[in-house]
Amino acid sequence: PAGLPSPSAVIERRAKALGPGLRQFYDQPFMPVRGHGAWVQDESGRRYLDAYNNVPHVGHSHPHVVAAVARQLREINSNTRYLHPAVVEYAERLLATMPPELDTCLFTCTGSDANDLALRLARAYSGREGIVATESAYHGNTVAVSALGPLSGGDRVPWVSLVPHPPHGPQPDPAAGGAEFAQAMQRGIDELGYRDVEPAAFIYDTVFVSDGFRIPEPEVMRAGLRPVREAGALVIADEVQVGQGRVGDTFWGFGLYGAVPDLVTMGKPTAAGIPVGSVVTRREIVDRFLAAGHHYFNTFAGSPVAAAAGLAVMDVLEREGLQRNARVVGGRLLAALEELRTRHGSVRAVRGRGFAIGVELRAPDGGPGTGEARAAINALLRHGVLVGLAGPARDVLKIRPPMVFGFAEMRYLLDALDQVLDEIEGCDTPAGA
């Protein structure tokens, strides 16, 4: 489009005005300025397939969402202290997707403040302070939640204990896998005890994306939650990565395990980029929080525009059958990536569910493919495909596309990835080397 500054001019001005802390995703400048469905366009008009973003959950600039937000903005958008029917309707709509005991919805603006609020609720309810989280998880950027893992550079604090991700994938003996996870969880709880801290909650990203997409079998997950319950702590399911249909088989990630959490937090995918997050929990938990003298108010959270956007996203998910799409196309994509793995020595493993898939790379010496993964996402950009990185070693390609990703998009991604892996391996490197 005419009139746009060049990406290099934007980089220079951005460094001056926004400071040095903002990193770029890719080694080369990339500036998407338009989006439609699973595709985006940069300033030069070049198209890219978006296989990464869950913020445009129902596709970039979906006309139904755009119209709903524009309509609400024309009518009113104000302080959330006032009544508005859309906000109530949105809360009811979210609650209708939850198990019945999760009957109360509190709105936030981001995933971080949803998790922060969940911690406050769990602490007020239990009268305790300790939080157990998985080793490489990311739960956000507030003082409290950034202490829950290494990814945000948070300081280690006495009230946090980190446990390894559960044994994942099909287990030869799920009972043994479950026992292993339960023991690790017990050690995490005991570690708090050595510091005179009692556990208030265990928080987990429901498909362990930042731990490298480590999805356990239901029995393994449930076994790991048992010591949490026995210690009198609550379970917080963080759905910021994969909530609202992404895993395909269930609407929420926690549904994969058949274990209902006490608090569910969400953000990113809920409202097409309008900042909306929420905590859904049981009424008694909110009651005790209030009875203990705590308050929660958040000026922008659950505004009429936020609710209009969130409702429109729910409409599109339902009308276009996008959870089913994630199950069907995601299932085929996972199988095709597994086939790709057998032909490419640089691919160590493929893991995931629905439209939440990790492709772990390895270096030629067998170590983590950190450099390979970095090279792959840059090469994929040159091939016109957006993919991200995950895992503690940043050696996992993160495939988490908008939910409208179809079979044509799947083929485009697979062809590009096939070529990129050839480039990375060098054309004459034998598979399995």
| Chain positions contacting ligand PMP, by CB under 6 A | 110-112, 115, 138-141, 205, 238, 240-241, 267-268
CA distance 368 to 114: 33
Query: Is the CB of 208 or the CB of 412 nearer to ligand PMP?
Result: 208
Nearest distance, CB of residue 232 and ligand PMP, angstroms: 25
Q: Is 319 exposed, middle or buried (0-12, 13-18, 19+ CB in 10 A)?
A: exposed
Nearest distance, CB of residue 275 and ligand PMP, angstroms: 7
Q: Which residues contact 413 (CB under 8 A, 6 or more apart)?
A: 49, 51, 333, 385, 387, 399
Nearest distance, CB of residue 206 and ligand PMP, angstroms: 8
Nearest distance, CB of residue 281 and ligand PMP, angstroms: 16
Pairing of strands 347-353, 356-361: antiparallel
Query: Is the CB of 111 or the CB of 369 nearer to ligand PMP?
Result: 111
Nearest distance, CB of residue 241 and ligand PMP, angstroms: 5
The four Cα atoms 386, 391, 396, 399 give a dihedral, to 10 degrees, of -40
Query: Is the CB of 188 or the CB of 273 nearer to ligand PMP?
Result: 273
Nearest distance, CB of residue 110 and ligand PMP, angstroms: 4
CA distance 58 to 60: 7
Query: Is the CB of 139 or the CB of 348 nearer to ligand PMP?
Result: 139
Query: Is the CB of 72 or the CB of 110 nearer to ligand PMP?
Result: 110
Query: Is the CB of 97 or the CB of 110 nearer to ligand PMP?
Result: 110
Query: Is the CB of 62 or the CB of 139 nearer to ligand PMP?
Result: 139
Nearest distance, CB of residue 154 and ligand PMP, angstroms: 13
* Nearest residue to ligand PMP, scored by beta-carbon proximity: 111
